[in-house]
A and B are shown apart, each in its own frame.
Chain A
Amino acid sequence: MLRENNGALAPRPRVDMRGITKTYGPIRSLRGVDLSLAPGEVLGLVGDNGAGKSTLTKVLSGAVTPDGGTISIDGEEVRFNNPADARRKRIEMVYQDLSLCDTVDVAGNLFMGRELTRSFAGIPLLAHDAMHERARIMLQGLGIRIPDTHALVGNLSGGQRQAIAISRAISFEPLVLIMDEPTAALAVAEVEAVLEIIRNVSKMGVSVILVTHRLQDLFLVCNRIMVMYEGTNVATPEVASTSLSEIVELIVGHKFEAASARA
């Protein structure tokens, strides 16, 4: 399929996943899924509950190792055995369950796994002040106002927690940003803010995968929408050439078609 909506898009996809499979016990969560993503592209990922969206994105973020299939980043084939491997390729993910530590404060969560330290008598000690200062600036830069970076994350509201998970991912300056239902717990104004963040990072060349059940949001920020059904991808229409009702049909309609076809 030819695309000419953005001249800046490189010919080679930044992410190219082919035939990804993953089985959990008796459940074939992914049954050979293809996904390709251009630099700066925003790809919506939709599907019924249990379609395999989270599993597929976790494969790309290294949190789940696939049983089969290949992943290429900028044309180079890679194997991710853990999230650290994916991070090295500058792939970041905001997980559906956020992955925050409730009993650690805001700055501690933002810097989890890459704490700033200063040497004291040869011992690397946490640079608490520097981390709180950087955390404050980081949040401010994204227009997120958390009153105190010393607050324990467990005491924050659902929206504030989500904002922290997103800031954390963005602060790694990723090339690929995966967001699994980042707006699930957000009020109207905060959803708007997240969509704005997505537009901004995509303008800077970051490729974004947005998993969401809020279909109307997809039409505001995405280039293409990939529809998953029972562990496979069924269609990936361009936003410009599709409609809300077609997407709904792809998510729901295919279910009956496919079920009757197999029966």
Chain B
Amino acid sequence: MPRVSATEAASLRYVKQSFWKDALTNHPGVISIAVFVLVVATTFSIITDNFLTVHNLLAVLRQAAPLCIAAAAMTFVITTGGIDLSVGSVGAVAGVLASTAMHGWGVPVLPAIMLALLVGACIGSVHGYLIAFQGIPPFIVTLTSLFIYRGVALLLTEGYSIPIPSDSILAFLGRGWVLGIPMPVLLAGATLVAAYIALNHTRFGRYVVGVGSNAEGVRRSGVSIRKVRTLVYIWSSVAAAAAGLILTARLGSGSANQGVMFELDVIAAVVLGSTSLFGGRGSIVGTILGVLAISMIVNGLILAHVSPYYTQIATGLIIILAIWFNTWLLDRPARRVG
């Protein structure tokens, strides 16, 4: 029998697949969450009267906007193999700071917004320094920040909620409509497009994936992985601040209790979207679908008149089932080989 080398044999064994089969082999997680979103949408369309209306769907999107923005940045953090537990608290500080600056200190609206975002960037820099340069685990660093910044928000407000002028630009960003679409939705859309391009079409995105996959390998390739890690946490905190500002704007006032447990929604959305908690694998499209799934479940359960006491339990159960299914899907290729 003629001998064929392993690499030649490999090219003989290579089968060109159709687009859909290709998508299923390369992105099984994203496909499965897409199916899940469809199932959720269909279910609520059937069991409730007004789920599938333009009005309701726009409301869902408007509600989902802050989650989208924070989750887009969290996708980068988790893809490097890290985590950011501080996003809810950082968002609260941003919202409270902007409203206090405007209401209490008489700062004009634009500087107030800039101040909030800048504080976000500073918080992220501290996270990045402690994690990337001092080697403290991200879980510890951002968990302590979760406590610290919630405390800072309480300190700033002394427990009151601080209104923002309803005719300011900030209020418009939270409640305005442009071309029939709510402002927050437009902002979230722009963030997602930017995040998609950054993750898939820039060097930074490539290094984010590389750091999560084999950080030492990327370092040996001459890339400053500390810089990559630091930037990821800066963006996460800035996005959290932006999300907090939009939430404040929508609610009409800054409150130290806004966005409690927000970080869990964000992480759930990202993981639901098939980004790997072990790092090295991330998908912005998956994150969008994860955000949609969570937001639609919350909205649908309300429309279906399920007692609010059950909503959290039901959301949690549905998410763990979806992730279980996803893990099963992602494991399949490995099982085929082994």
**Chain A residues within CB distance 8 Å of chain B:** 61, 63, 82-84, 87, 93, 95, 98-104, 108, 112-115, 117, 123-126, 128, 144-148, 152, 155, 157, 159-160, 163, 187, 189-190
Contact A160 B10 (CB under 8 A): yes
Tell whether, in the assembled complex, residue B206 and residue A102 are in contact, meaning their CB atoms are under 8 Å apart.
no
Chain B, residue nearest A150 (CB): B26
Cβ of B52 under 8 Å from chain A? no
Which residue from chain A places its CB closest to the CB of B280 in the assembled complex? A103
CB within 8 A of B203: which of A99, A117, A163? A117
Give the distance in Å from the alpha carbon of A125 to the alpha carbon of B219 in the complex: 21
Interface stretch, picked from B32-40, B70-78, B220-228, is B220-228
Interchain CB contact under 8 A, A101 and B202: no
Question: Does B11 contact A95, Cβ atoms closer than 8 Å?
Answer: no
- A145, B7: Cβ atoms closer than 8 Å: yes
Most buried by B among A145, A152, A160, A190: A145
CB pair A113 B7 closer than 8 Å: no
CA distance A155 to B201 in the complex (A): 22
User: Contact between A101 and B217 (Cβ–Cβ < 8 Å)?
Assistant: yes
Report the Cα distance A123→B203, complex, angstroms. Answer: 11
Given contacts A101-B280, A104-B206, A160-B10, is CB(A113)–CB(B222) below 8 Å? yes
Residues of B within 8 A of A95 (CB): 217, 220
Contact B10 A145 (CB under 8 A): yes
Residue in A87, A103, A114, A145 whose beta carbon sits within 8 Å of that of B11 in the complex: A145
A93-B13 Cα distance, complex, nearest whole Å:
31
Q: From A84, A99, A146, A160, give the contact of B217 (CB < 8 A).
A: A99
| B213 in contact with A103 (CB, 8 Å) | yes
Contact of A113 among B5, B201, B218 (CB under 8 A): B218
Q: Is A187's CB under 8 angstroms from B6's CB?
A: yes
Query: From residue 211 to 240 of chain B, which have CB atoms closer than 8 A to chain A?
Result: 212-214, 216-223
The minimal Cβ–Cβ distance linking B210 to chain A, given in whole angstroms, is 5
Contact B6 A101 (CB under 8 A): no
Give the complex CA separation of A60 and B244 in angstroms.
Answer: 49
A99 touching B220 in the complex, CB below 8 Å, given contacts A124-B202, A124-B203: yes
| B202–A157 touching, CB < 8 Å | no
Residue from A102, A157, A163, A190 in contact with B214 in the complex, judged by beta carbons closer than 8 Å? A102
| B206: chain A residues within 8 A (beta carbon) | 104, 108, 112, 115, 126
Considering the complex, give the chain A residue whose CB is closest to the CB of B7: A145
Say which residue of A63, A103, A108, A144 sits within 8 Å of B7 (CB atoms): A144
B281 surroundings in chain A (CB, below 8 A): 103
Q: Say yes or no: A125-B10 contact (C-beta < 8 A), given A84-B222, A95-B220, A100-B214.
A: no
What A residues does B218 contact at CB under 8 A?
101, 112-113
User: Is B8 an interface residue when CB atoms closer than 8 A count as contact?
Assistant: yes
- State in angstroms the CA–CA spacing of A152 and B25 once bound together: 11
Task: Given A124-B203, A126-B202, check contact A101 B210 (CB 8 Å).
Answer: yes
A83-B7 CB under 8 A given contacts A101-B213, A126-B206: no
Q: Is B222 in contact with A83, judged by CB distance below 8 angstroms?
A: yes
Q: Which residues of B contact A124 (CB under 8 A)?
A: 202-203
In the bound complex, CA of A84 to CA of B226 (Å): 14
C-alpha gap A126/B5 in the complex (Å): 34
- A-B pairs, top 9 by smallest CB distance, nearest first, are A113-B221, A99-B217, A147-B14, A84-B222, A101-B213, A103-B280, A145-B7, A112-B221, A103-B213
Among the listed B6, B219, B280, which residue makes an inter-chain contact with A157, where contact means beta carbons less than 8 Å apart? B6
| B214→A99 contact, CB < 8 A | yes
Q: Flag whether B209 is at the interface (Cβ < 8 A).
A: yes
- The smallest beta-carbon distance between B11 and chain A, in angstroms, is 5
Q: Are A112 and B202 in contact (CB under 8 A)?
A: no
| Complex CA–CA separation, A148 to B217 (angstroms) | 22
